[in-house]
Structure 1
Amino acid sequence: MGDPLSILASSTVVPSAAAASPRRRHHHHHHHHHRPSSSSVATTTTTKPKPKHTSKPFTTTSPLLSNVRGDNRENPRYYAELASKLAEDGRFEDFLMIAEIVVVSGLKGKEFLSLLNAKAVSSGITRMLDDGKVKSVVEVILSGFMKLAIDPIQLFDGAAMEALKKECYRVMKFGEVEQTVSLLDTLHGFHFPIRELVEPSDIIKLCISKRNPTAAIRYACMFPHVQILICTIILEFGKKGDLVSALIAFEASKQSLGCPNMHVYRTIIDVCGLCGNYLKSRTIYEELLACKVIPNTHVFNSLMNVNACDLNYTLNIYKKMQELSVTHDIASYNILLKSCCLAANVDLAQDIYREVQCLESKGALKLDVFTYSTMIKVFADAKMWKPALEIKEDMLSAGVTPNTVTWSSLISACASAGLVDQALKLLDEMLQDGGKPNTQCFNNILHACVEACQYDRAFRLFQSWKGGNAAKDVVSELTSQICTTSRSFGLSSSCQSQLTMKVPFRPTTSTYNILMKACGADYYRAKHLMDEMKTLGLSPNHISWSILIDICGSSGNVESAMKILRSMREGGIQPDVVTYTTAIKVCVEHKDMKLAFSLFAEMKKYQIRPNLVTYNTLLRARRRYGSLQEVQKCLAVYQDMRKAGYKPNDYYLKQLIEEWCEGVIQDSSHNKGRFTSRRTEFGPHSLLLEKVAEHLQESNVERLSIDLQGLTKVEARIVVLAVLRMIKEKYSTGDSIKDDMLIILSVQELSACVGKDEIGVKEAVIKLLQYDLGLQVISGGSRIGNNKKSDVENPVGSNLKLEDLKRSGPSPQLESPTRRPVVLQRLMITKESLCHWLQRKMAATIN
């Protein structure tokens, strides 16, 4: 057997553990369980390529394991030199075996570490990392060092750390989230500075892009400022609109942090607002209260801000803060004002504003620019420009400088009222004050011109601001043009001092939409503006297309309006409810109701929900109805409107339905001139339209049964006439009468007296059928209850006189001691009578 030292030190491919094992088993058999198996080491060493460098031969001829436990002080140094050489050659399993032998012999790991050639060991580690063997470095080298109580980071010099950093970025570059986080987690366990290896924001971005909130939270927990990173993670998911992942990260953070963290709760509530799910924010808040944790002011403010669209809920949260003795800051009141603004509640906003002023006078609060700006916007949205200007004076008196939002809201207040000169004056004041107007300020002034119907002025202002290149800011050379324009519009000449100032004006899609409205019925000018918009890289939105469709309609070009609607979809833009409503309005104005209803059906096909304007446009389109199909369509729209939650004004539609129904009588030769309108008897919430819609459905054509229960005399008349007109139109197309017509009036207890209303309805219906239309009417009552068979009071075929009806009520019946029987009051028109009436109507029409 050869010398063990020469075997270990040589670069030939020889299983080193196998060479050392005979002596090891002979001298230290009670330590053999510390040695890796010879097969595994052999596998590693046989696949190791021959090193490119040559090692200096060791001169000693001492056996490898001799005198390990002796007092020879040079042995540890000898083994340290040997181990360093093995590490430099990349033979770390042999290195760890030598280190284990030395440590087991009694030398401490720190002492052995101090004897190693750190540069040689680091060189070997660097080579392995450069070869992409980071897994081996972690699982073999670092783990082995830790078992021997050797701090591995001390064997990583600058080159090794740089190689480790590159390897971490390589793993991250391939998008392997779990592998990257696991690697960093392991390195963190070995006390490596993971913040220096990979930028934390890069790892978080990777987790966000891969939608892996669990890995993101796991990574965040490696840092002492874990709560800040968790808030960042949740917020980044929210910015992506991924509320599900944000909530998963939130739940994982609760386990990591242990106790509720107000920063994290505030962030997840803000994210609920970003993702448009304000109801979820309420659930999170209620869960916090259920844990008997009182949120702080910032959490309450975020909750109110997210739910600002619901004024009642926001006020309840404000009161809850008072109950829990949570301090209100100025942000709390600003959010309340914002909620009032969204709800258009000017009175409440004024009350809150006065309360805040009172608190400021006591030194409890200090109004800021947001308070004043929000209050100005409340008045601006309500078109109350004078109170808005008064708030500006309060603001200046308090020493608060208006910002761009403040000036924009002030200009908007004047613009909504169509006060162009006042809006331009405010713009001039803004420039004097050193403010920098944004595009919204200019758009508001253009909007003021449109509201005041000063269309030419809007275009002149636009051209002067644009200065020949709408894609760039207006620089000082163009300011003189603005000043000239300003003087012509009644402004001061103070803008001459602003010659060196840049006035940023970058037209937006909204700018061109306002100018398109100023085109009136000039389709070609509006189309030119849309083309100019595209050349500047701006994309026309739904409002742009809707305006163009409306202009086509105004010029009478319905066909072009429909082409624009189709071209929108062909261009990848799905028309919205405003676009469809505009197109329907064009069709209605040009009396093309068939096309209007087809567009309405197309909306429903593409699952676009009509709004109140859409419904009203269709329902108010008619001046009269000419056919059953038209009535059925409008009643279907009416019912759809009610189901959608809108409360329509029924009066107009009732008038049209009444006029259509009364046509049954008006076109009768022997009844001309007998009809008198009774429209004033309609109730505000009558069942008339619902009853008419129910009886005019296609499915009811074969079933000639009319239920008049709950209707007034006028309403009952209209329902009966509606069904008769439907029968008449169906008969004219070839449908025959197959059954008698049954009219149900009311259900009454036998012992009860017949009310005046019921008799009035019965009189009105019989008078209509028998005297106005000449139909044969049979009156009957069916007994219901006590398991008795129904009895018909009057024999079939007997004609009723109006005087007899006034004198008589339903026939008396025996009462049950436990349950009173009831009578179903009804009228019947025989099939024969209906046929004779229809034949007379058709003959009269022909004549």
Structure 2
Amino acid sequence: MIICPFSFYTICAVQDGVELSTFACSIALHACTLVIDLCLGQQLHLQCIKKALDVNLAVVNSLIDMYCTCARILDARSLFDGTPERNLITWNTMIAGYSQCDPLMALQLLLEMNDEPNCFTLTSITSACADLAALRCGKQVHGAVLRRSYSDDLQMGNALVDMYSKCGSITNAKNVFDRMGCKDKFSWTSMIAGYGMNGYGNEAVQLFSSMIHAGVHPDHVVFLSLISSCSHAGLVDEGWNFFRSMINEYNLQPNKEVYGSVVNLLARAGRLREALDLIDTMPFAPDEYVWGALLGASKMHNNVEMGRLAARKITEINPDDVKNYIMLASIYAAGSKWGEYAFTRRSLRGIGSRKEAGISWIEVMDKMYSFTAADSSSPQVCLADEVLHILSQHMDDVGSEFCHIIFKAT
């Protein structure tokens, strides 16, 4: 990360005890944000409090941005709530911070916003809708974009393509992509990734050819999206050829993420031995993601030996990762290795950890609801259980009737 000379000079001056001004403090905080230096940012915050600079709105906005970037969203929200005067930058900074870690709260904050949202606001909200897969809400944001004539903005267009792709509306994503007057590398990558995550592997390959024809030089992210698209669509040979062309034609050395995607490509197709051979030839030590891809595929194909190897490697890197013990236990159970299954479950209890519960979101009548497995906090949980019971009974009845028909036919 490159910091401008003035920002670097400002940080050095602050460390040497030079008197701070609001402008210098904002610049120094911005530099801390660029390099994600929480420690120095907190020291600057303390100096701001001592010099009574923390009442200046520009300084407060810089502090909120620094804390959001450093993943200290609660500290950022505390500053936001304690600021009696807020401008559009304040709202945008807080909404953008929430869109990265708590998209539901980003939408809630938009409803509380007392300033007219601009293009930056709607770009952040579009990203939040993408993470929530909230298609209906995303369409409403798209309507607001069109009404305000923001559709020509490059970042806005990229965010809309990403949002529609993640919401499964690939037709709308393609429409936005085709109407973009200006496209950058991220535009092409988002569309390729969108095709991949929705199972349109052949379309992703064709779009890559169009990108090359348009004179856009691919980078690691493009190839990562392309190989991942081939993996989702089962285009194993095509994905492998792209991996080789990345090295031989475009002179790009694959990073760990690309290697992990190729391992996943081979392993998901049942070519576990080839995946392991690729891991052995990597120019750097494989990480959890690479071994995790092999472990997941070992579970998919009930390969106990390969699963045991991958789990051991992951345990050496991160012995407290609970989900790998759970996956290995499932592999042993599928292979009827009950002794090893019991030992793995005992090891899981021994590390004293639990698998983090996943959170799901659902959009109903323009409102977003979040819940976890076995969540009983919702006032409608009894109604949901009753509906599930009715559906389960209906499926049992249909299944019994179907079996009866098959029995008579045979």
Of residues 156, 160, 173, the one that matches 1:332 is 156
TM (norm. structure 1) is 0.38
How far the C-alpha of 1:213 sits from its partner, in A, is 12
4+ runs deviating over 6 angstroms: 193-196, 199-204, 209-214, 644-647, 677-681
2:161 and 2:126 map into 1 onto residues whose CA distance is: 11
How far the C-alpha of 1:576 sits from its partner, in A, is 5.0
Kindly provide the CA deviation profile for residues 820-839 of structure 1, in whole angstroms up to 9, marking residues without a partner as x.
Answer: xxxxxxxxxxxxxxxxxxxx
How far the C-alpha of 1:387 sits from its partner, in A, is 0.4
Letter aligned with residue 250 of structure 1: F
Identify the residue that residue 140 of structure 1 maps to in structure 2.
Answer: none
Of residues 71, 84, 90, the one that matches 1:264 is 90
Q: CA separation of 1:424/1:286 partners in 2, compared to 1, >3 Å: closer, same or farther? A: same
Identify the residue that residue 351 of structure 2 maps to in structure 1.
Answer: 571
Kindly provide the CA deviation profile for residues 356-375 of structure 1, in whole angstroms up to 9, marking residues without a partner as x.
Answer: 2xxxxxxxx31111111111
Q: CA separation of 1:265/1:218 partners in 2, compared to 1, >3 Å: closer, same or farther? A: farther
Q: CA separation of 1:545/1:641 partners in 2, compared to 1, >3 Å: closer, same or farther? A: farther
Question: Superposed, which structure 2 residues align to 1:545-564 within 5 Å?
Answer: 545-564=325-344
Of residues 374, 380, 388, the one that matches 2:190 is 374
2:298/2:331 contact within 8 Å kept: no
1:508 and 1:525 map into 2 onto residues whose CA distance is: 16
Letter aligned with residue 89 of structure 2: H
1:401 and 1:566 map into 2 onto residues whose CA distance is: 51
Identify the residue that residue 459 of structure 1 maps to in structure 2.
Answer: 276
Q: CA separation of 1:419/1:282 partners in 2, compared to 1, >3 Å: closer, same or farther? A: closer
Identify the residue that residue 291 of structure 2 maps to in structure 1.
Answer: 512
Counterpart check, 1:448 vs 2:265: yes
1:307/1:314 contact within 8 Å kept: yes
How far the C-alpha of 1:294 sits from its partner, in A, is 3.0
Identify the residue that residue 526 of structure 1 maps to in structure 2.
Answer: 307
2:272 and 2:354 map into 1 onto residues whose CA distance is: 30
- Per mean C-alpha deviation after superposition, the further-off stretch among 231-240 and 429-438 is 231-240
The higher-RCO structure (CA 8 Å, 6+ apart) is 2
Of residues 370, 373, 392, the one that matches 1:609 is 373
2:302 and 2:39 map into 1 onto residues whose CA distance is: 51
2:265 and 2:252 map into 1 onto residues whose CA distance is: 21
Counterpart check, 1:416 vs 2:232: yes
Kindly provide the CA deviation profile for residues 422-470 of structure 1, in whole angstroms up to 9, marking residues without a partner as x.
Answer: 112101221221223222222222222223222222222222x23xxxx
Identify the residue that residue 397 of structure 2 maps to in structure 1.
Answer: 654
1:284 and 1:652 map into 2 onto residues whose CA distance is: 42
SS in 2 for 1:295: coil
2:338 and 2:310 map into 1 onto residues whose CA distance is: 20
Of residues 105, 113, 122, the one that matches 1:300 is 122
- The answer for unaligned runs of 5 or more in structure 1 is 1-163, 170-183, 357-364, 467-473, 475-504, 579-606, 612-638, 659-676, 682-847
SS in 2 for 1:307: helix
Structure showing greater radius of gyration is 1
SS in 2 for 1:575: coil
2:323/2:355 contact within 8 Å kept: no
How far the C-alpha of 1:419 sits from its partner, in A, is 2.9
Q: CA separation of 1:641/1:462 partners in 2, compared to 1, >3 Å: closer, same or farther? A: farther
Q: CA separation of 1:283/1:526 partners in 2, compared to 1, >3 Å: closer, same or farther? A: closer
2:51 and 2:117 map into 1 onto residues whose CA distance is: 23
Q: CA separation of 1:641/1:428 partners in 2, compared to 1, >3 Å: closer, same or farther? A: same
Kindly provide the CA deviation profile for residues 54-112 of structure 1, in whole angstroms up to 9, marking residues without a partner as x.
Answer: xxxxxxxxxxxxxxxxxxxxxxxxxxxxxxxxxxxxxxxxxxxxxxxxxxxxxxxxxxx
> Identity over aligned residues, as a percent?
15
2:158/2:187 contact within 8 Å kept: yes
Question: Superposed, which structure 2 residues align to 1:38-53 within 5 Å?
Answer: none
SS in 2 for 1:572: coil
Kindly provide the CA deviation profile for residues 98-146 of structure 1, in whole angstroms up to 9, marking residues without a partner as x.
Answer: xxxxxxxxxxxxxxxxxxxxxxxxxxxxxxxxxxxxxxxxxxxxxxxxx
Counterpart check, 1:438 vs 2:255: yes
Of residues 352, 363, 378, the one that matches 2:176 is 352
Counterpart check, 1:230 vs 2:11: no
2:324 and 2:404 map into 1 onto residues whose CA distance is: 44
TM (norm. structure 2) is 0.73
2:276 and 2:41 map into 1 onto residues whose CA distance is: 50
Question: Superposed, which structure 2 residues align to 1:80-229 within 5 Å?
Answer: 205=39, 208=42, 215=49, 218-221=52-55, 227=58, 229=59
- Number of equivalences: 362
- The answer for unaligned runs of 5 or more in structure 2 is 1-13, 359-370, 376-381, 406-410
1:426 and 1:392 map into 2 onto residues whose CA distance is: 10
- Per mean C-alpha deviation after superposition, the further-off stretch among 559-568 and 203-212 is 203-212
1:204 and 1:412 map into 2 onto residues whose CA distance is: 34
2:227 and 2:328 map into 1 onto residues whose CA distance is: 27
1:377 and 1:551 map into 2 onto residues whose CA distance is: 30
SS in 2 for 1:219: coil
Kindly provide the CA deviation profile for residues 197-253 of structure 1, in whole angstroms up to 9, marking residues without a partner as x.
Answer: xx768998478489989949943457xxx62x4333112332455444323322444
2:161 and 2:289 map into 1 onto residues whose CA distance is: 27
How far the C-alpha of 1:306 sits from its partner, in A, is 2.5
